[in-house]
A and B are shown apart, each in its own frame.
Chain A
């Protein structure tokens, strides 16, 4: 694959807000674009921006993050802005990656893909673990990665993450579907928002057949429950219309997945242990008529 990344000269950094507004922000209304005003600092806690900003699009991203691009693409990645920061002598470099996703819900979705780590106050949600800070805010998912952890570099990562998040004035909304998961016995850290079976397969493996008829216009949320009678994953899926939900219901039943449907919403219990563990969950998720 040809690596035809765009290069932004350092002197253009001050124009980054203009660039972000002007080129390829997709179908987002201008009013939303105006809220994007990134003026990312050139120096944070002794780490300095090294080299140019690089911009990866939906083609070039595969070469940049070999093996991971699919995750961001599954949430409608628009582009990735990347810059390396060099630290004081003997300290590791820091790599800042900012992924613009199709919507705030998608930025949140990417954030939920990996929920390990300690909560940190960065953006609308931040996690730090093993030399890696992730956060989301508005349409943006941020990743700040240390190439070899040290105490000083951890502080710098958090400072850089906060500085970047502060420049994003847009505030996104957590997908409302998330709040539809019954709260009782839910492990909040287990919650993932997604659109594709490939992403779900990384949580609960369902195999190749798209029994639940996932697609780009389908929103889903999955969470893990541990109750006295056992554990299970509860999946809630919102389809574009009732007919699509009905089709998915049929496919799920055929695949042996316990489901319950109301209108265009489907609830499914996945990987229950023991088999009966999810019965109550379905009833809690979708009350009968």
Chain B
């Protein structure tokens, strides 16, 4: 275990206040308990969120986001859930992903901004960015982040995950490429990030389960899953997404073609950097909405 492993108290600080309850499945504060901690994520799916071309309906997507956040935080009212996560005094960077083949949907970015403003966060204290987070003035003074991106396979890290999404905060990406990008979790321990990511939204609307060619993309290897995975714990969110991709690869290829290279940066983020929980046995996946072909 690395020297920079977060202790359990640091771990709770990944979320803030009551939000931590959502992180550890209601066991927050159980320091003395010998039972291993658990994490809780919400998988919400709606078949009607996508049109025939795979484009998301903004209203349905917004509803999914709110239902998911409410469930994650144990609220019946989405507004109350958002207020658990953020306060009017926050400065919030929404870390998005602009990869041209499969970007974070603009409708999701807009829904997140809308909800932050509804909490009372000033518009000038909210920014959406990906490649320029290091120089973005809002990100530089941010008190908190929302981290969101679509899940896809990746030739170097196995999967492009929520954990990996913060790589644009670093100076040299290749520094994190060794051992199938195992060190990615260390990014989350940087002072400008540590403890500030309050919500992870892994976009599973049309996830990509296989990469091909220099542009890493073929329409054949995305499918209309119509989902979002939400969690305060990025490791649990990514581990759950990884299970869905593995299941889809088994269905599609019909033989044993695991994600390659293995996305073990997810597990390393748990075991070495203490960012969350990767063991599926210890992740409670709350399923909402469309149940057909959930795959896990």
Contacts and interface: CB of A to CB of B under 8 A. Distances in A.
B182 interface: yes
A57 interface: no
Contacts of B261: 201-202, 205
B155 A148 contact: no
B220 interface: yes
Interface in B157-205: 160, 173-174, 177-180, 182
A134 interface: yes
A132 B177 CA distance: 26
A130 B180 contact: no
B214 interface: yes
Nearest to B258: A205
Interface residues of A, number: 31
24 contacts: A62-B173, A65-B214, A66-B99, A67-B99, A68-B216, A72-B214, A95-B215, A97-B214, A114-B212, A129-B212, A130-B218, A130-B220, A130-B221, A131-B220, A143-B213, A145-B213, A145-B215, A198-B177, A198-B180, A201-B180, A202-B260, A202-B261, A205-B180, A205-B260
Contacts of A202: 155, 260-261
Contact of B179 (A65, A66, A131, A208): A208
Contacts of A130: 212, 218-221
Contacts of A163: none
Interface of B: 99, 131, 154-156, 160, 173-174, 177-180, 182, 211-216, 218-221, 260-262
A228 interface: no
A198 B260 contact: no
A71 interface: yes
A283 B281 CA distance: 43
A62 B261 CA distance: 19
Contacts of A70: 155-156, 174, 177
A95 B217 CA distance: 12
Interface centre among B156, B211, B213, B220 (most CB of A within 10 A): B213
A257 interface: no
A198 to B, nearest CB: 7
B130 to A, nearest CB: 10
B171 to A, nearest CB: 10
Closest 8 pairs between A and B when the two form their complex, measured CB to CB: A208-B179, A130-B218, A132-B213, A130-B220, A201-B261, A65-B214, A143-B214, A67-B154
Contacts of A80: 214
A67 B219 contact: no
Interface in A30-70: 62, 65-68, 70
Contacts of A95: 215
B260 A68 contact: no
A67 B156 contact: yes
A72 B173 CA distance: 16
B162 to A, nearest CB: 15
A67 B179 contact: no
A229 to B, nearest CB: 19
Contacts of B155: 67-68, 70-71, 202
A203 interface: yes
A149 interface: yes
A29 interface: no
Contacts of A132: 212-213, 218
Given A114-B213, A132-B213, 5 more contacts: A67-B160, A71-B155, A143-B214, A205-B260, A205-B261
